[in-house]
Amino acid sequence: MKTRYKGYTGKLLDVNLTSQTTGEYIVSDMDRERFLGGRYLSTKILWDELKPGIDPLSPENIFIVMTAPLTGTRAPSTSRYDISAKSPITGGIGHSNSGGNFGIHLKKAGWDGIVIRGSADTPVYIEINDDVVQIKNADHLWGKDTHTSQELMKTNDFKKAATMVIGPAGENLVKFACVVCQERVHGRTGMGSVMGSKNLKGLVVKGSKKIDVFQPEKFKEHTKKWIKSLQGHPATGETVPKLGTSMFVALLQRANALPTKNFSRGTFENYNQITGETLAKDHLIRNYGCQSCPIQCGRVVKLDGQEIKGPEYEIMCLFGANLLINDLDAIIRWNRELDLLGLDGVSCGTVLGFAMELNEKGIWKNNLEFGKKENILDILKLIAHREGIGNDLAEGVKYLSEKYGGTDFAPHVKGLELPAYQPQAAVGHALGYATANRGACHLDGGYMIYFEATGPVTLEQFHHRSKPAWVVLDQNLLAAISSGGSCLFTSWTFVPAIAFKAQKSKIISFIIRKILTYTWPSITGLLKLPLVFLKFHIPLLPHSKAIALATGMDMSFGKLIRIGDRGYTMEKLFNLREGIRKKDDKLAKRFTDDLLVKGNKNSRVQLDKMLPQYYKIRGWDENGVPKEKTLKKLDLNFVDISQLN
């Protein structure tokens, strides 16, 4: 056994597509303790293995699939796993997390992860049946959509296996190509095109082994309580199962935070035709979820007599309000097409909105118009196949703005397109966009929107001074939860159920808002507390105890947050080594200069005020470079920071 910890298999598969050979990649227990699993462990591997400056679409890039210690252990909502590589859209760290059954099967096959190097001469797929690994010809799959390819891979012994594939978008190196696992999607950062560049169509895995945990009885008891708390919580037990993420359309409209017309404003007059409530009333058949998940956030909807996967909030907004389209039927159709083609819906919707504004302003004549839906389906195909204007659209917002113009209203950070939350409406969330290591990301950014607009109790939306501390805490917290293998929805119980009762009283909500906003120094204090004061588990976040019981690791709430901080900083170091600097922690002028609310001078994102404070709280210098003492605190002092300056 190559690890003393349970929850892990102790083995990573190493596949070289150039030489068509397989072996094992060795990870130390020290790295498991430092990074747990998922994308942060992958980042450490990429740091160790990649030379800086390599082309992300060259054989030199490494593509990693990585589970985490709780993946597949029957703790609630722990089907999660990550894929990582150097991103072709940002040039920095790229990763994408997903549910579905691939991670579980991979672990059951005896592998914690897969490190994939080089590139094959001809299209291939990787087939894993416990210890038997084969690289197989994929000529018959190349060119096929993600649904068909997954079905074709499940032959003979693999009928009940898990699959992960790219569609035509990944094959054609579309910068925002995604990877699809069943109907779940690894959307962001162009991981699909990394697979495409390796001529890797997909992977299929079947596992028959048991996943052991350290203290089975206590773990079982703990997860039972955890499931109960999720089921009893107003968000994870009621709203999310009932409406899915599409519930955010109405919530964000009310908060003036629903990106509309290429993020030019935060409200859409026809929003009620594309809400979660409308979806539930007119189309919903049932919800569904990943294995071991009591939340069941997925939607199955009916369209043209067929049952298909329903759209998430991001698609409903970015193909709805953001394009001035209020046709839910059309959005459902496009959602399906995005998955079949293997396109990231978030980036794609944002790209289209930007292209529409370029057309409207006469900057780039492309026949894309706000409110015009007739050509959208064709455009998606053009993008996936890089035909006509699709060849330019496939490169993303940053490329389009550099080629044609419009940088002032180009919604991207570091090259990654913005997700569906209006930055000026939640300035902490906007700071998260600017500082997230993989580019504009609501989740990596700390998901502050929950504390600024959509949660039961919130901070003041436009208050800037309070936000950096909260953003750092949230970024570390979500990073920590993700690194253990849990779905980020499980973090919502951090806000106790009683808060949902409090929101019914205007006075109580007002008082809580003031307390949360103006006690930000206590958050800074919490972040600075030595670990010795945080050696406990907290009931609102069962994750640390679950990891301890599953693995046998010495784990606490404080240690888990520290792992989040460490992982986040490790990603930052990777980016610095690739030349991504303070100048890249920015947003378009539309968000930093334009007022969202007329007359409210705080309703723009004042990054110049927040960034210095953010860097200071993180223990970074004024250029956003981690200081030596921060690296020492985080046990990252194997990095020579002078080399990165």
User: Which residues form the interface with another protein (CB under 8 A)?
Assistant: 55, 57-58, 121-123, 142-143, 171-173, 197, 199, 385-386, 391, 395
Q: How far is the CB of 118 from another protein (least distance, A)?
A: 12
Instruction: Determine phi and psi for 531, rounding to 5 degrees.
Output: -55, -30
Q: How far is the CB of 39 from another protein (least distance, A)?
A: 24
Centroid of chain to Cα 46: 18
Residue 620 half-sphere exposure toward CB, CA atoms < 13 A: 25
Sheet of strand 63-66: strand arrangement: 21-25, 12-16, 113-117, 63-66, 81-86, 93-98
Q: How far is the CB of 225 from another protein (least distance, A)?
A: 51
Nearest-Å Rg of the Cα atoms of the chain is: 23
Give whichever of 201 and 412 is closer to another protein, judged by the CB atom. Answer: 201
Instruction: Determine phi and psi for 360, rounding to 5 degrees.
Output: -60, -40
Q: How far is the CB of 535 from another protein (least distance, A)?
A: 50
Give whichever of 193 and 630 is closer to another protein, judged by the CB atom. Answer: 193
**Gap between the Cα atoms of 639 and 73, Å rounded:** 34
Give whichever of 123 and 415 is closer to another protein, judged by the CB atom. Answer: 123
Residues with Cβ within 8 Å of 254's Cβ and at least 6 positions away in sequence, in order, are none
Contact 234, 500 (CB under 8 A): yes
Give whichever of 177 and 318 is closer to another protein, judged by the CB atom. Answer: 177
Contact 339, 146 (CB under 8 A): yes
**Gap between the Cα atoms of 145 and 148, Å rounded:** 6
Give whichever of 181 and 200 is closer to another protein, judged by the CB atom. Answer: 200
Give whichever of 139 and 238 is closer to another protein, judged by the CB atom. Answer: 139
Contact 287, 389 (CB under 8 A): no
Q: Using alpha carbons only, what angle is made at residue 584 by residues 186 and 350, rounded to the nearest 5 degrees?
A: 45
Helix axes 467-484, 543-551, angle to 10 degrees: 30
Give whichever of 89 and 331 is closer to another protein, judged by the CB atom. Answer: 89
Residue 605 half-sphere exposure toward CB, CA atoms < 13 A: 24
Give whichever of 7 and 190 is closer to another protein, judged by the CB atom. Answer: 190
Q: How far is the CB of 60 from another protein (least distance, A)?
A: 12
Whole-number Cα distances in Å, 140 to 126, 143, 149, 179, 339: 14, 8, 9, 18, 20
Q: How far is the CB of 56 from another protein (least distance, A)?
A: 10
Give whichever of 103 and 190 is closer to another protein, judged by the CB atom. Answer: 190
Instruction: Determine phi and psi for 560, rounding to 5 degrees.
Output: -65, -45
Give whichever of 140 and 629 is closer to another protein, judged by the CB atom. Answer: 140
Q: How far is the CB of 176 from another protein (least distance, A)?
A: 13
Centroid of chain to Cα 334: 21
Give whichever of 24 and 55 is closer to another protein, judged by the CB atom. Answer: 55
Q: How far is the CB of 438 from another protein (least distance, A)?
A: 20
Give whichever of 57 and 605 is closer to another protein, judged by the CB atom. Answer: 57
Helix axes 467-484, 557-577, angle to 10 degrees: 100
Q: How far is the CB of 588 from another protein (least distance, A)?
A: 24
Output the furthest CA–CA distance in the chain (Å, rounded).
67
Question: Tokens in use for 209?
Answer: 């082994």
Helices (H), 497-540: 498-502, 506-518, 520-528
Q: How far is the CB of 123 from another protein (least distance, A)?
A: 6
Question: Tokens in use for 524?
Answer: 């800074």
Give whichever of 123 and 428 is closer to another protein, judged by the CB atom. Answer: 123
Q: How far is the CB of 194 from another protein (least distance, A)?
A: 12
Residues with Cβ within 8 Å of 77's Cβ and at least 6 positions away in sequence, in order, are 99, 230, 290, 292, 293, 294, 295, 486, 487, 489, 490
Q: How far is the CB of 57 from another protein (least distance, A)?
A: 5
Q: How far is the CB of 143 from another protein (least distance, A)?
A: 6
Contact 461, 467 (CB under 8 A): no
